[in-house]
């Protein structure tokens, strides 16, 4: 239950502005508004809040792309993608610390790399996040789950396209983290529907921090999970310990090849792996991932993304972050606290570092510029993932995209992943790409020496926007 400090009334705010992008002045107007969902009896049940940016000097929008953009969670507002790299105003990334990560406090600045010159941008705060609300708590099962969340999102897209007369425009999804799951299901629902037809064809999607999956539930991938974790663990080991002189990418790909050739069959053998063969695997795992012998022996050689955070940089007395393993904190003393799910593993230094800073830029600078004047509390994130209904009907998220791409031969995908991301690992993305039957000639993959949020930093935000620009304008 979220504490309520006001009575919900649907609101709509408008503004006008202009920015200089690539040496040209781009005028725009914005509409920020509640999009209310009603029950059969006409009672309001929920609201999805959206921020729409329109370039205002375009007369014919029939060939002008629209980007539908969101973060994930489940339970996260879209603050990060909004003021992190997509909107015309964003976080100003200042000095970096010893780990190469931008330091607070942050200021706002004009986003000179914004894509508004070539596409209109719609930021979506999912129901129950940001200014969005679940108005009737008894209806949570109707909106909070993989299927209902995607249905609400694609229903919003339908309504938005009608309201702003944009059905003819090219339509793209930009989803980060769980937003990739949402986006994939939206693509599937738009093309095929689950319980009804939606008739929305997307021209493509940008998936940041991939969660598109070949499995319908997380247990199906349990056996291969340690194998897909190896390249990310190797990347983090490379960053903190520099075991070799080669590049991070080369070391990660070498580790991935070894894991596929030797670690996977070793795990399959289980207790039958013994003697020299077992010792060989242990030494290689220690070399690539930086974890200790004791850690491996205690876990039957199975590495996992929680415990290794206290292992990889242990020689330096550091615990690495989950969302961005470049960010660290000191290990607890006594060390037993590290195993506590709340104080130890629950204390992710990378998550703690950014949430209040991005929200501060959005609410302190950007929202007033957009004409947003409301007493409604802003919910940056809520832990909906704890009770989220992850049931997937019919197609897996990867199958949703793969099947849609076969029906729409111009649909293209861009995957963007950070090497130091322990939340959505590069290896898991590679596995999905190798088992999902996606048309490879219409799939592009880009890598960044960052964590989960690939756009952190002045050089990174430019690179990410340049890559998306290239993707959108590619013929």
pTM of the model: 0.94
| Measured CA angle at 252 (ends 338, 183), to 5 deg | 80
Confidence at residue 454, expressed as pLDDT on a 0 to 100 scale: 96
Average pLDDT score over residue span 6-27 = 93
With 0-12 / 13-18 / 19 or more C-beta atoms within 10 angstroms meaning exposed / middle / buried, residue 319 is buried
Q: How many CB atoms lie within 10 A of CB 36?
A: 14
Q: Is residue 152 part of a domain?
A: yes
CA of 373: how far to CAs of 33, 301, 364, in Å?
11, 55, 12
Q: Is residue 403 part of a domain?
A: yes
| Measured CA angle at 291 (ends 287, 293), to 5 deg | 90
With 0-12 / 13-18 / 19 or more C-beta atoms within 10 angstroms meaning exposed / middle / buried, residue 30 is buried
Confidence at residue 356, expressed as pLDDT on a 0 to 100 scale: 81
Q: Is residue 305 part of a domain?
A: no
Count of domains forming the chain? 1
Q: How far apart are CA 382 and CA 377, in angstroms?
A: 13
- For β-strands 66-70 and 120-125, DSSP reports them as parallel
Structural domain of 364: 12-217+354-473
Confidence at residue 308, expressed as pLDDT on a 0 to 100 scale: 94
Q: For the chain, give the mean pLDDT.
A: 92
Q: How far apart are CA 93 and CA 83, in angstroms?
A: 11
Q: How far apart are CA 78 and CA 280, in angstroms?
A: 45
Q: Is residue 301 part of a domain?
A: no
- For β-strands 204-208 and 412-418, DSSP reports them as parallel
**Per-residue pLDDT tens digits for 154-203:** 999 999 999 999 999 999 999 999 999 999 999 998 888 777 778 899 99
Q: How far apart are CA 364 and CA 88, in angstroms?
A: 15
**Per-residue pLDDT tens digits for 340-382:** 777 777 888 888 777 788 999 999 999 999 999 998 999 998 8
Q: Is residue 281 part of a domain?
A: no
Confidence at residue 5, expressed as pLDDT on a 0 to 100 scale: 64
Q: Is residue 233 part of a domain?
A: no
Q: Is residue 314 part of a domain?
A: no
Strand partners, 207: 175, 415
**Per-residue pLDDT tens digits for 385-435:** 889 999 888 889 999 999 999 999 999 999 999 999 999 999 999 999 999
Residue with tokens 């209904």: 389
Q: Are 345 and 339 in contact (CB under 8 A)?
A: yes
Q: Is residue 89 part of a domain?
A: yes
3-state SS class at 137: helix
CATH code, domain with 364: 3.40.50.1820
Confidence at residue 357, expressed as pLDDT on a 0 to 100 scale: 83
């Amino acid at each position: 239950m979220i504490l309520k400090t006001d009575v919900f009334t649907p609101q709509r705010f408008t503004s006008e502005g202009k920015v200089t992008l690539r040496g040209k002045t781009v005028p725009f107007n914005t509409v920020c508004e509640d999009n209310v969902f009603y029950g059969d009896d006409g009672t309001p049940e929920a609201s999805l809040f959206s921020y729409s940016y329109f370039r205002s000097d375009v007369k014919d929008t029939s060939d002008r792309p629209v980007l539908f953009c969101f973060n994930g969670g489940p339970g996260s507002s879209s603050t990060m993608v909004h003021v992190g790299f997509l909107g015309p105003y964003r976080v100003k990334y200042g000095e970096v610390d010893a780990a190469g990560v931008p330091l607070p406090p942050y200021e706002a600045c004009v986003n000179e790399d914004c894509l508004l010159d070539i596409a209109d941008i719609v930021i979506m705060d999912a129901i129950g996040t940001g200014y969005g609300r679940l108005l009737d708590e008894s209806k949570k099962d109707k909106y909070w789950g993989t299927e209902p969340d995607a249905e609400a999102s694609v229903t919003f897209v339908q309504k938005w396209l009608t309201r702003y007369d944009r059905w003819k425009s090219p339509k793209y999804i930009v989803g980060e983290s769980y937003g990739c799951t949402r986006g994939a299901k939206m693509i599937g629902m738009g093309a095929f529907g689950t319980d009804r037809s939606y008739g929305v064809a997307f021209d493509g999607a940008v998936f940041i921090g991939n969660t598109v999956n070949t499995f319908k539930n997380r247990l199906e991938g349990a056996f291969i999970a340690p194998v897909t974790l190896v390249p990310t663990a190797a990347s983090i080991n490379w960053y903190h310990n520099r075991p070799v002189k080669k590049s991070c990418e080369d070391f990660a790909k070498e580790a991935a090849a070894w894991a596929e050739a030797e670690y996977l069959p070793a795990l399959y053998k289980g207790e039958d792996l013994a003697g020299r063969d077992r010792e060989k695997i242990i030494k290689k795992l220690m070399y690539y991932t930086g974890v200790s012998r004791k850690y491996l022996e205690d876990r039957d050689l199975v590495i996992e993304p929680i415990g290794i955070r206290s292992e990889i940089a242990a020689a330096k007395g550091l615990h690495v972050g989950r969302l961005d393993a470049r960010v660290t904190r000191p290990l607890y003393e006594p060390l037993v606290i590290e195993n506590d799910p709340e104080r130890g593993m629950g204390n992710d230094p990378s998550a703690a570092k950014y949430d209040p800073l991005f929200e501060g830029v959005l609410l302190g600078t950007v929202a007033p510029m957009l004409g947003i004047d409301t007493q409604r509390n802003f919910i940056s994130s809520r832990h909906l993932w704890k009770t989220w209904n992850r049931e997937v009907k019919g197609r897996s998220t990867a199958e949703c995209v793969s099947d849609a791409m076969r029906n729409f031969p111009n649909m293209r995908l861009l995957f963007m992943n950070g090497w130091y991301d322990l939340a959505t690992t590069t290896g898991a993305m590679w596995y999905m790409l190798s088992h999902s039957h996606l048309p490879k000639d219409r799939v592009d993959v880009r890598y960044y020496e960052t964590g989960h949020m690939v756009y952190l930093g002045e050089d990174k935000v430019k690179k990410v926007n340049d890559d998306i620009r290239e993707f959108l304008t590619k013929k």
